[in-house]
Structure formats: structure tokens, C-alpha cells
Amino acid sequence: MCNGSQPFFRRSLRPRSSIGARAAMGYFHTRCLHQNRVAPLTVLPSLDKTPDVTDDLSREVYGVFGIPVDAVTGSEAVDLITRAVAQRRPFLISTPNLNFLHQSHSDPAFRHSLLQSDLSIPDGMPIVWLSRLVGAPIRERVAGSDLVATLKAQTGQERPVKIFLFGGPQGVAERACASINASKGGLQCVGWHYPGFGDIDAMSNDATLETLNASAADFLSVSLGAQKGQAWLLRNHGSLHIPVRVHLGATINFEAGMIRRAPKWLRRVGLEWLWRIKEEPHLWQRYAGDAIALAKLLATCALPLLGWSIQRRLAGQGQPFRADIREHENVITVSIAGSATTDNISGAVEILRRAIALRQPLRIDLSATTGMDTRFIGLVLMAMKQAELNGGLRLINLPPRIRRFLALNGFGYILET
């Protein structure tokens, strides 16, 4: 279950990264980074100093059992949304919970949508717990419903964030739209659309997309069911003009007053699922399946990984970090030696940023890597996303211990890229 053996998708959902587009191209021989210090370069990419919400390498991402999870708080996520609205940049948010994690292990296309997201927030408490189990410092649950509630509660802005509601049961989006507009705050509903129960192609016709784009919304909330909603967002990513887009599931029902949300104390202790079953009894089957998947994950991956990690720490794996870049036959190779861990992440980010800016197929040579953690896995996922249009990224020459670590963490699939 945790080997993640499905192939990594190569199709990019958005144009060439802003980092690469701004980079000054130049020939180089060898560029070295040692102990997080960068040697002088003949040509240094010129980067825009304005923070870019789609700069994946600057994200604090952790690899958690096959999926990326951003270490952000709710207020930080809202700030990123506000910046994306101001920049009018496509900004895809995913909200992984236990069901997302479960589905990602059996559906490579669904997993791909998480990997391609510009922000992947821990929507469920089990994701927070699993993240902490593997050493990812996820501070809090960031539910999609809470993002909407926070935006609604904001005051003092120049103008409210304009939201468009797409999907949900018939009549619910209209009702939710009216409810949002009844409270004068930081969120204004500028439209809704009920697409029916057709397939993704039928929901992606020109008339539908024109309706969405004509709304001039800032935030698109999609409610089609997790797998269908994520697939629809990927399918139409390049055709949408609305900058922030996210599948929010039950949020539309909460806003419409169709379903009551669990009390905060139940949410804090991770028992919201009990409340949801009370409100929507048909959900018990989904939660039962998720619980079985969690038990299997703990038995086959989490517990072996915990024992393996303790053994590695006792053996000592903190070796000096070194990295260098080489070019050979139009392929860029970044060699990582020592500990590919959080302590050395800033150096790894810098050298990968420069390698990706050269717009060539990229390889990461791990033959001299003595240790790895989930933060470095997250960085590799972001580098893969950035490198896709340049011929992709491959990990090469992995020592057996590194292969074992990736497999136990659910990232065996990136070895088959």
C-alpha cells in the first residue's frame, strides 16, 4: 500500500514556472554548494524580489505517505489566497484529508492533482497526526471550510473577495450564495452554477467556462465530489480566469444551512467524522473504508518507518552536506552528498532553483546521500513539478537505505519517473 508504485505524471497543468521565465540563461561548468554556502557563479539568475505565490521551491512542503502537505497555519493560508487574488495568478489549492490520502494510493490521477497544487493544506486531523508521526511540523489543521469562514469574517479590506460557487446538489449553491451575501463581510458571492450530474467533459463546455470567467470572481469553490472535482480543476486549469480555485466539498452545504458543522471541540480532537455521520448517515461507509485504509497504513508503513527511523538516528547519519551541479549532453545533474534533511534545506533549495532555471532535463544523484527526511521529499516533489516542462526530473543512484525510506513513506512511485 505504501510503496506508491504508480508512475509519476509528466503533464504540467500550468505554463512554465515564473522562476524559469525570469531566469537569465548562461553557460556554466560547475557550480558548487558546500555546507549551505554557494560558490560565486559566472551567471546568477535574476529573480523578482516580489513574493510569488506559485514559487514552489519556497514552500515548506513535507512528503507525507505519498502526498505533499504544506506546513501552514490558517492565517498563512488566507494570506496566500489574498496575495494570489492581488497577483491574479492561477492558484490551485488542495485540501487533503484521510479520504484524499486513501484515494491517492489507488488513483494516480487523483494523486497527480495534489502534486500539482500550489497549496496543499492539512484538512483533516488524521493528516496532522500522520504528518507529526513522520517528523513533519504541521502545526494545525487547516480546513477548507475554515478558510471560507475566515474570509467572510474579514473586515477593513479595500473590497471583498468575490467567490463563485460551482456544483453541489441542485439549489444548494444558490442558497449558499444568498447566505454569504446576507452577511456583509470580506466575502461576496458573485454567482453560482449547477452543472448537473454529467461527466467532466459535459461540465467543461465553452458555455460553462464563459459563465465562470464572466463573473470576474477571485475565488472558485467547486463541489463535485473529491475525485471528480480535482479532475475537473486539472482539466480546466488553463481555461479558467479565476485565480484561486479549490474543491471544498461540504462547505457549500454548511454555508447553505443544509448541514450543521461539528462543534469546535469535536473538530479539535479529530472526531468531526462522528458528527458528520450523525448529520449525513450515508457517510458511514466512506469513513469505514478510510478507517480500514488508515489501519493498513499504520501497520505496513508507519510503524515500520518509525522503527527504521529510530535505528537510523541511533546509528548516526548527520554527515556534512555538499551539493554540486554538472552539465553533460544537455542534462543537468545535481549531486547531493551527506544529509538531505531539514537542517540543510536552504542550501538544497538554492542549488535546485539554479539548476531548474537552466531549463534542461534534471537528475538528482543520491549516491553519496547518507540520510533523508520528509522535508527533503517535499522539496523533491516541488522540484519535479517545476522541472516537468524542461524534460522532467529523475532520482538516480539511490542507496538501498534511501530507497527503503522512500518506499515506507509511500513515494516509491517517484523512483519510476
Question: Which pLDDT belongs to residue 276?
Answer: 86
Question: Which pLDDT belongs to residue 184?
Answer: 83
At residue 43, does pLDDT exceed 60? no
Q: Which residues of 358-389 are buried (b: 16+ CB within 10 A; e: fewer)?
A: bbbebbbbbeebbbbbbbbbbbbbbbbbbbbb
Please state, for a pLDDT cut of 70, what percent of the chain lies above it.
Answer: 83
**Res. 26 pLDDT band, cuts 50 70 90:** very low
Domains and CATH numbers, the chain: 18-50+318-416 (3.30.750.24), 56-274 (no CATH)
Left, alpha or beta for 359 (phi > 0: left; psi -120 to 50: alpha)?
Answer: left
Tally of CB atoms within 10 A around 198: 10
**Res. 5 pLDDT band, cuts 50 70 90:** very low
Question: Which pLDDT belongs to residue 383?
Answer: 95
**Res. 257 pLDDT band, cuts 50 70 90:** confident
SS3 per-residue string spanning 262-277: CCHHHHHCCCHHHHHH
Question: Which pLDDT belongs to residue 311?
Answer: 53
**Res. 363 pLDDT band, cuts 50 70 90:** very high
Min mean pLDDT across 48-52, 236-240, 275-279, 370-374 is at 48-52
Please state, for a pLDDT cut of 90, what percent of the chain lies above it.
Answer: 59
Question: Which pLDDT belongs to residue 317?
Answer: 53
For the segment 293-341, what is each residue's pLDDT rounded down to a tens digit? Answer: 889 888 888 888 877 665 555 444 556 889 999 998 899 999 999 989 9
Mean pLDDT of 358-377: 93
What pairing do the DSSP bridges indicate for beta strands 161-167 and 119-120?
unpaired
At residue 40, does pLDDT exceed 60? no
Question: Which pLDDT belongs to residue 309?
Answer: 64
Which position has the higher pLDDT, 27 or 189? 189
Which position has the higher pLDDT, 274 or 174? 174
Tally of CB atoms within 10 A around 238: 11
The mean pLDDT of the chain is: 83
CB-based contacts of 348: which residues, under 8 Å, 6+ apart?
Answer: 321, 323, 336, 340, 376, 379
What pairing do the DSSP bridges indicate for beta strands 161-167 and 187-193?
parallel
Question: Which pLDDT belongs to residue 332?
Answer: 93
Among 383, 382, 392, 355, smallest CA distance to 38 is for 355
The C-alpha cell 447553505 sits at 256
Grid cell listed for 372: 533523508
Query: Which class for 310: exposed (0-12), middle (13-18), buried (19 or more C-beta within 10 A)?
Result: exposed
Long-range contacts at 127-131 (CB < 8 A, ≥ 24 apart): 127/64, 127/69, 127/96, 127/97, 127/98, 127/100, 127/101, 129/270, 130/64, 130/65, 130/101, 130/297, 130/302, 131/62, 131/64, 131/69, 131/374
Question: Which pLDDT belongs to residue 310?
Answer: 57
At residue 25, does pLDDT exceed 80? no
Q: pTM (2 decimals)?
A: 0.84
Among 356, 345, 340, smallest CA distance to 31 is for 356
Question: Which pLDDT belongs to residue 1?
Answer: 59
**Res. 78 pLDDT band, cuts 50 70 90:** very high
Min mean pLDDT across 5-9, 184-188, 199-203, 233-237 is at 5-9
SS3 per-residue string spanning 244-307: EEEECCCHHHHHHCCCCCCCHHHHHCCCHHHHHHHHCHHHHHHHHHHHHHHHHHHHHHHHHHHH
For the segment 53-71, what is each residue's pLDDT rounded down to a tens digit? Answer: 668 999 999 999 999 999 9
For the segment 106-143, what is each residue's pLDDT rounded down to a tens digit? Answer: 999 999 999 999 999 999 999 999 999 888 999 899 99
At residue 194, does pLDDT exceed 90? yes
At residue 21, does pLDDT exceed 80? no
CB-based contacts of 399: which residues, under 8 Å, 6+ apart?
Answer: 366, 367, 369
